[in-house]
């Protein structure tokens, strides 16, 4: 009698840690693309960075600029407010978000379509189960993107006839790109809650970021629009590390909707797909 085939398993905590960096790197594919910047400028935004700011926060609708700044958190409020008020004539903030969504899916069409469709469909299915388990109260920006995403992906892969759309592609690859974006917005929402809980500010979190240079310290804070003088990052280093651990704990109930086999599968799919993309 043959022995049963063993399947890999993973814990919730290990999976959260495993997918964190790959998901961050996925989203940089379109966030840092010259094509995205160029699209934003052609749309009427003053710079590609302002397209990113308004595009990402535009899911909140045409709210006061201070609300958008609060939702983004890790960008200097003055920079967000200036971008929010520089909206091109004839466009709403929410329409800019729809245009930004089109850049996410356009990137997915190129970068994700080369992979096995069955594996990508599975990545999407598992990721969506995590996303759908999150309460709306976790964060307005995450919930705004999830709401926009549900409207857009209701037409993927059934139809390209999306009302008021900006050419959202009709494919699993496009949907996977949106899934990775939502997973990053999910972690961002959890992280904002965590840094507030440990008593530090978004600026403190930037100064003492656990990322590799140049995405940490005073230079990174300046790149995000803040101006010094800055406090010594070492003053908040312990709290910053505590916030990282708390962020993971906040995420645990949502990842826990997957069983140990599915967690291992999801981690493998995210990690190997990201590692196979040249960016």
With CA atoms as reference, report the closest residue to 97 among 153, 140, 53: 53
* 148 within domain boundaries: yes
Both structure tokens of 103: 């850049």
Query: What is the rounded (10 degree) CA torsion for 137, 271, 154, 68?
Result: 40
The average pLDDT across 36-58 equals: 97
* 104 within domain boundaries: yes
| Rounded Cα distance, 89 and 93, in Å | 11
pLDDT at 7: 87
* 98 within domain boundaries: yes
pLDDT, tens digit, 9 for 90 and up, residues 177-227: 999 999 999 999 999 999 999 999 999 999 999 888 888 999 999 999 999
Are 175 and 156 a contacting pair, CB within 8 Å? yes
Both structure tokens of 186: 């999910």
Please indicate, yes or no, whether the overall pTM of this predicted structure exceeds 0.95: no
pLDDT, tens digit, 9 for 90 and up, residues 91-118: 999 999 999 999 999 999 999 999 999 9
* 75 within domain boundaries: yes
* 1 within domain boundaries: no
**What does pLDDT average to over the chain?**
92
Both structure tokens of 72: 């983004």
| Rounded Cα distance, 134 and 156, in Å | 22
The average pLDDT across 15-30 equals: 94
pLDDT at 150: 85
The answer to whether residue 164 scores a pLDDT higher than 50 is no
* 5 within domain boundaries: no
Give the side-chain half-sphere CA count within 13 A for 204: 20
| Rounded Cα distance, 122 and 236, in Å | 40
* 4 within domain boundaries: no
pLDDT at 185: 98
Number of domains observed in the structure of the chain: 1
**Which structural domain range is residue 225 located in?**
12-271
Kindly report the number of other CB atoms within 10 A of residue 89's CB atom.
5
| Rounded Cα distance, 27 and 153, in Å | 18
């Amino acid at each position: 009698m043959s022995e049963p085939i063993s399947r890999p398993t993973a814990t919730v905590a290990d999976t959260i840690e495993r997918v964190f960096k790959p998901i961050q790197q996925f989203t940089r594919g379109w966030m840092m693309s010259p094509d995205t910047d160029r699209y934003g400028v052609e749309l009427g935004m003053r710079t590609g960075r302002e397209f990113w700011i308004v595009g990402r926060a535009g899911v909140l609708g045409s709210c006061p600029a201070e609300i958008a700044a609060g939702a983004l958190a890790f960008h200097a409020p003055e920079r967000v407010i200036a971008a929010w008020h520089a909206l091109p004539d004839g466009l709403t903030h929410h329409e800019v978000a729809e245009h930004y969504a089109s850049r996410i899916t356009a990137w997915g069409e190129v970068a994700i379509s080369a992979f096995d469709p069955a594996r990508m469909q599975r990545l999407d299915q598992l990721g969506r189960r995590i996303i759908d388990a999150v309460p709306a109260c976790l964060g307005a920006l995450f919930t705004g993107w999830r709401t926009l995403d549900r409207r857009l992906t209701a037409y993927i892969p059934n139809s390209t006839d999306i009302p008021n759309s900006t050419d959202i592609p009709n494919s699993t690859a496009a949907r996977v790109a949106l899934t990775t974006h939502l997973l990053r917005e999910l972690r961002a929402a959890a992280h904002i809650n965590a840094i507030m809980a440990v008593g530090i500010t978004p600026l403190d979190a930037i100064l003492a970021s656990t990322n590799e240079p140049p995405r940490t310290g005073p230079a990174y804070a300046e790149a995000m629009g803040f101006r010094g003088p800055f406090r010594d990052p070492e003053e908040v280093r312990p709290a910053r590390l505590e916030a990282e651990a708390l962020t993971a704990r906040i995420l645990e109930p949502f990842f826990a909707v997957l069983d140990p086999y599915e967690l291992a599968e999801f981690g493998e799919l995210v990690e190997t797909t990201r590692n196979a993309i040249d960016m």
